[in-house]
Amino acid sequence: MAPLIKEFQRNKNIFKIRICLTGQHLEMLQQVITFFKIKPDYNLKIMKPKQTLIEVASKTLKELQPVLDKYKPDLVFVQGDTSTVLVGALAAYYQKSKIAHLEAGLRSKNKYSPFPEEGHRLLVSPLADYHFSPTEGALKNLKKEGITSKSWVVGNTGIDALFLGLKIIKEQKLESRIIKDLSAEITDFQNMVKEFKTKKKRLILVTGHRRENFGQPFQNICKALLEIAKMNKEIEIVYPLHLNPQVKKAAEKILKNKERIHLLKPLSYPQMIWLEKLSYFIITDSGGVQEEAPSLGKPILVTREVTEREEGIKLGTAKLVGTDFKKIVKEANHLLRDKKFYQEKAQKENPYGTGQASKKIVNILKKEKKNSE
């Protein structure tokens, strides 16, 4: 949302905006708003340890009411597929404020995968008044569901954020600070970076947090990472662990203190996108990373059975490997050992936008506003 907020602020003579945070994952949240220099107007501070999905949803709905009562927005933006998105849309609907949905139309076609995100998407679309889709495929999904008006393909604001973030890192010369911070967790990281840049070593970046992978599937992924590290002496695997204790405990049990595998605390946004750019390829179950990686020319192995980012699979920027131990190891080795195959994957163009989504959205709303006057 950061680049869209910035774009609205550049048009403050037309739009008056307010920023509301739910307050989930406070540590991760604070560094993002600091990095992008965003000042929130409201923070619901809903997060408590071990909350259930129902508790998160009900508390967010209750806390949003006084905000919407006080501000009475003409339009409420929600982005993606989290509990916040569903509840934000529902609260806006109850207040009869119009709803704009970013990333509209993404579908895995399995309501339990990813869970609960796919269900959230299916519920938000009928409530929304404006639908901003990242791709033509997402727009077609909406049309199949009977949503044909006020819908546009704009790309994804996440790609805008990626390019803006990398620009900030370069302009503010933050690379040395990032290397210093990561060196506190990775021994000899400074020399590793030099070897990554000269191709003497290769970095595999890993992320994983999906609920549907908890338990044995997640253990399979970790065992595959261990095998990849054993079979390829010239690689380093960097895995920033999600805050969810089910992820952290399982990963540490299998991967902690293993050679060439580095388990890190959650990364800041600039650290994450800098590592994405430095990596050779990425193993992930993240939807956002599936979109960011092609912009950086990085192939992806997706540890999910289905994905709502089908365009990347069709173009070949991403490969679905699920949680199958043998398949993960096989595909990782293919990327590491077949340079021609790697280049074919790395040189594909990004189907999720060129970094202009925020400008397109604001221009559309300018026209909508003018037409309604």
- Quote the CA–CA distance of 269 and 162 in Å, as a whole number: 9
Q: Is the distance from CB of 261 to CB of 288 less than 8 angstroms?
A: no
Total tally of structural domains belonging to the chain: 2
Would you state the pLDDT for residue 322? 92
Domain assignment present for 366:
yes
Please spell the DSSP secondary structure of 262-321, one letter per residue. Answer: EEEPPPPHHHHHHHHHH-SEEEE--HHHHHHHHHTT--EEE-SS--S-HHHHHHTSEEE-
Which of 23-32, 151-160, 339-348 bottoms out in mean pLDDT, i.e. has the lowest?
23-32
Mean pLDDT of 100-126: 94
Q: Which domain does 145 fall in, by range?
A: 2-155+356-372
Q: Is the distance from CB of 84 to CB of 22 less than 8 angstroms?
A: yes
Would you state the pLDDT for residue 24? 75
Q: Is the distance from CB of 239 to CB of 246 less than 8 angstroms?
A: no
Domain assignment present for 168:
no
- Other beta carbons less than 10 A from residue 351's beta carbon: 20
CATH number for position 286: 3.40.50.2000
Mean pLDDT of 209-227: 85
Beta bridge mates, 261: 237
Residues catalogued as catalytic: 81, 103, 117, 209, 211, 242
Q: Is the confidence at residue 350, as pLDDT, over 90?
A: no
Domain assignment present for 167:
no
Tokens at 195, concatenated:
């070897």
- Quote the CA–CA distance of 344 and 358 in Å, as a whole number: 30
Q: Which position has the higher pLDDT, 294 or 203?
A: 203
Q: Give me the percent of the chain exceeding a pLDDT of 70.
A: 99
Q: Is the distance from CB of 155 to CB of 172 less than 8 angstroms?
A: no
Domain assignment present for 95:
yes
Q: Are residues 245 and 363 in the same domain?
A: no
Domain assignment present for 42:
yes
Q: Which position has the higher pLDDT, 30 or 122?
A: 122
Q: Are residues 124 and 51 in the same domain?
A: yes
Q: Are residues 229 and 337 in the same domain?
A: yes
Beta bridge mates, 102: 79, 132
Name the residue with tokens 């992978």: 213
- Quote the CA–CA distance of 109 and 99 in Å, as a whole number: 23
Q: Are residues 140 and 221 in the same domain?
A: no
Q: Are residues 121 and 250 in the same domain?
A: no
Q: Is 116 helix (H, G, I), strand (E, B) or coil?
A: coil
**Predicted confidence (pLDDT) per residue in 229-257, tens digit:** 999 999 999 999 877 777 788 889 999 99
Q: Are residues 234 and 328 in the same domain?
A: yes
Tokens at 183, concatenated:
């060196």
Would you state the pLDDT for residue 215? 76
Q: Are residues 267 and 367 in the same domain?
A: no
Query: Of 153, 150, 130, 129, which Cα lies nearest the Cα of 140?
Result: 153
Q: How confident is residue 213, by pLDDT bands cut at 50, 70 and 90?
A: low
Which of 75-79, 273-277, 349-353 bottoms out in mean pLDDT, i.e. has the lowest?
349-353
Phi–psi pair at 247, nearest 5 degrees: -75, -50
Q: Are residues 130 and 188 in the same domain?
A: no
Sign of the dihedral through C-alpha 145, 151, 152, 157? negative
Q: Are residues 213 and 304 in the same domain?
A: yes
Domain assignment present for 226:
yes
Q: Are residues 253 and 201 in the same domain?
A: yes
Q: Is the distance from CB of 327 to CB of 283 less than 8 angstroms?
A: no
**Predicted confidence (pLDDT) per residue in 170-199, tens digit:** 999 999 999 999 999 999 999 999 999 999
Domain assignment present for 245:
yes
Q: Are residues 88 and 54 in the same domain?
A: yes
Mean pLDDT of 311-326: 91
- Quote the CA–CA distance of 22 and 4 in Å, as a whole number: 18
Q: Please give the model's pTM, rounded to 2 decimal places.
A: 0.89
Q: How confident is residue 50, by pLDDT bands cut at 50, 70 and 90?
A: confident
Q: Is the confidence at residue 39, as pLDDT, over 70?
A: yes
Q: Are residues 189 and 266 in the same domain?
A: yes
Which of 64-68, 298-302, 314-318 bottoms out in mean pLDDT, i.e. has the lowest?
314-318
